[in-house]
Amino acid sequence: MNKFLIITGGSSGIGYATALLFQKENYKVINLSRSEIPLDGAIHIPVDLSNSEWLEEVSTLFKDYLVDADQICLIHNASMMQSDNVENFNVKELRDVLEVNLVAPSVLNKITIPFMKKGSSILYVGSTLSEKAVPQMSSYVTTKHGMIGLMRSTCQDLFGRFIHTACVCPGATETEMLQEYVQGNNEALKMMAGTLSENRLISPKEIASTLLFCSQNSVINGSVIHANLGISSS
């Protein structure tokens, strides 16, 4: 079977772990990101998802790459995070976050779905902030909530087409983005780990395994999957 993984942000973190795992499962990997994916045999398409000018080039390349695909898993993994609030946000930065976190996934859906056959899947990488909010994360929280809405619309609009979808919402995961968020503060990371049931951060490999499971099991169609080890309610 000629299987493809199309993933955004596959050059590091959850994206890289996912690309590596899917490649081991005999998927051909197509990565879209600014940085090249360090994975032998992967196809890298250099794009800045905050800039919508990538659409025409990617559409042309997909026509060449996917014409003989038997099954496609499209994973919307790339994400932009800003520290802002409803009073002090920067309009341009808000538009960039919307472009990366919601517009790009919508556009990729539009150009990929025509190549999808029975058994294909569209998966979204959300966040614990897809269903709750914290202070000073307004644009990120807003777009991650919107991602669940987009996933649910995907389920309804493709009903009966045998293309399934889900939104996997990781908890605190050991990634470069988390390190940037806490600005290298190890005490902050320990505090985050302390809110999880096993008193540790989640590994990117664990989220990759969850995404692989979702890609292979259509029974989860339309689901929000909480991959967070269990978070303390106290």
CA distance 131 to 110: 25
Whether residue 21 contacts residue 208, with contact meaning beta carbons closer than 8 Å, is answered with yes
Architecture per CATH, domain 3-173+207-227, reads as 3-Layer(aba) Sandwich (3.40)
pLDDT at position 142 is: 97
pLDDT higher for 22 or 179? Answer: 22
SS (H, E, C) 59-96: HHHHHHHCCCCCEEEEEECCCCCCCECCCCCCHHHHHH
CA distance 148 to 165: 11
Per-residue pLDDT at 219 exceeds 80: yes
CA distance 96 to 90: 10
pTM reported for the whole predicted model: 0.94
For 129-188, how does the pLDDT look when each residue is reduced to its tens digit (9 = 90+)?
999 999 999 999 999 999 999 999 999 999 999 999 999 999 888 777 766 666 677 777
Whether residue 204 contacts residue 173, with contact meaning beta carbons closer than 8 Å, is answered with yes
